[in-house]
Amino acid sequence: MVYLELFVSFLIIGFTSFGGLSMIPLISSQMLSHGWMTAREVADIVAIAEMTPGPVGLNCATFAGSRAAGILGAAAATLGVITPSLTVSLAAAMFLKKFQENKYLANALYGIRPLCIGMIGAVVIQQSMVHYAGPLLGISWQMLLIGAAALLMLMKWHWSVPRVIFLSAALGLILG
């Protein structure tokens, strides 16, 4: 029954999140509450999902389902997470004209933006606690240095993301 549990868990995640990074706290909660993964494993899955082409939430679902129950688990989690999007997309396509002129919907979407920003902030804090925690003063100075160097490479020198990821991974292996 783990396949049904994965499907339902990711169906709920799909219906209650807004996609992308906002799915990560919900995925983490489901994985931890069911005992399918540890916090460290969830953090690793998120890191892999961000490096893999495609939507982060979908990649997380696929990797998490695979980790929890193999190939069939990956299929169940993926199907569960995409079902809400497909359902809503089909309904929206049927009523597109009506939705475009609805001021209440426009206002609701405007109000949802701060919520999404808050959820992304929560993910940043949660992932930072996992990746930057260390024995000395609670901070892993090596990982903090790698993160700062990556930010510098991206923002100041405009290096490509794959290049920064590769260099950060190499530094993590050397310093970590």
Q: Answer whether 67's CB lies under 8 Å from 36's CB.
A: yes
Q: Are 101 and 67 members of one domain?
A: yes
Q: What average pLDDT score do residues 69-91 get? A: 93
Q: Answer whether 60's CB lies under 8 Å from 49's CB.
A: yes
Q: Answer whether 55's CB lies under 8 Å from 20's CB.
A: yes
More confident residue, 100 or 130: 130
Whether the pLDDT of residue 105 is over 90: the answer is no
Q: Are 53 and 111 members of one domain?
A: yes
Q: Are 23 and 96 members of one domain?
A: yes
Q: Are 65 and 141 members of one domain?
A: no
- Lowest-confidence region among 77-86, 113-122, 130-139: 130-139
Question: Residue 60 burial by CB count (10 A; 0-12/13-18/19+): exposed, middle or buried?
Answer: buried
Q: Are 91 and 67 members of one domain?
A: yes
pLDDT of res. 135? 62
Give residue 176's domain range: 133-176
Q: Are 121 and 37 members of one domain?
A: yes
Q: Are 165 and 89 members of one domain?
A: no
Q: Are 140 and 124 members of one domain?
A: no
Rounded Cα gap, residues 62 and 92, in angstroms: 26
30-51, pLDDT tens digit by residue?
999 999 999 999 999 888 888 8
Phi-psi region of 138 (alpha: psi -120 to 50; beta: other; left: phi over 0): left
CA angle, residues 165, 139, 121, in degrees to nearest 5: 65
Q: What average pLDDT score do residues 8-28 get? A: 88
Q: Are 14 and 28 members of one domain?
A: yes
Whether the pLDDT of residue 23 is over 90: the answer is no
Of 113, 131, 149, which marks where a domain is finished? 131
Q: Are 63 and 119 members of one domain?
A: yes
**Number of domains comprising the chain:** 2
Q: Are 111 and 152 members of one domain?
A: no
Q: Are 152 and 127 members of one domain?
A: no
